[in-house]
Amino acid sequence: MNQALVLDFGGVITRTLFETHDITEAELGLAPGTLTWRGPFDPDSDPLWRDMQAGRICERDYWLARTREVGRQVGETWERMETLVTRARGADPASAIRPEAVAAIDAAKAAGCRLAILSNELDLFYGRELRRRVDVLRHFDCIIDATYTGILKPDPRAYALCVEQLGVPAAACVFVDDQQRNVDGALRAGMRGVWFDIVRPATCYRRALKMLGVPLPAAL
């Protein structure tokens, strides 16, 4: 049976904006230490993140609020989440790609696994242009993006679309996401799942590859 590695994008393939505040501040001309929200790295100091985790707001609400906040800090009005990401990443968005992700994707591809991205907001957050500028995205057999489908994880239809496009059974898929609710949705859909701990990326990718029976690369 063919197997598939199915990945979320933001946080799983890329480093989060929480991890790159220094780069964002430099790109936007903000003083070091201006950006204090740390999400999962310091939930006690980020009440908006706690609201999202508790289900009081959705992930898009969180990032739209941060987009507007940072826009105000640079004296501009930002209403598109894409603006925050593209401005924060600067001229080299590929620099935010996790090396652990590249190693795992290359290993899965070499082992004959199919590859998919299942994202709630790939182009909404990062812009369509990113697909051309980040080489690792060319390895994927399909990209299912709720920016266009309108079907957000953990809706079971999102996972069904992914399985359909991959052409493999749900049980053949290992799904990796940094939001537990989305992993739970994948499990309900019949996939195997790995919650991605963004402070331990290599550990999570090793677990996913082991579930697929893929030899671990030296980089992991």
d(CA 214, CA 113) in angstroms, rounded, equals: 9
Instruction: State pTM to two decimals.
Output: 0.89
Query: What was the pLDDT predicted at 89?
Result: 82
Residues 6+ apart with CB under 8 A from 206: 216, 220
Q: Which residue ranges make up each domain of the chain?
A: 4-15+96-212, 17-93
pLDDT in tens, 102-133: 999 999 999 999 999 999 999 988 888 888 88
The total number of residues shown for the chain amounts to 220
Count other C-beta atoms under 10 Å from residue 63's C-beta: 20
Specify the CATH superfamily of domain 4-15+96-212.
HAD superfamily/HAD-like (3.40.50.1000)
Per-10-residue mean pLDDT, the chain, length 220: 92 94 94 96 94 91 96 96 87 87 97 97 86 90 96 97 97 97 97 96 98 96
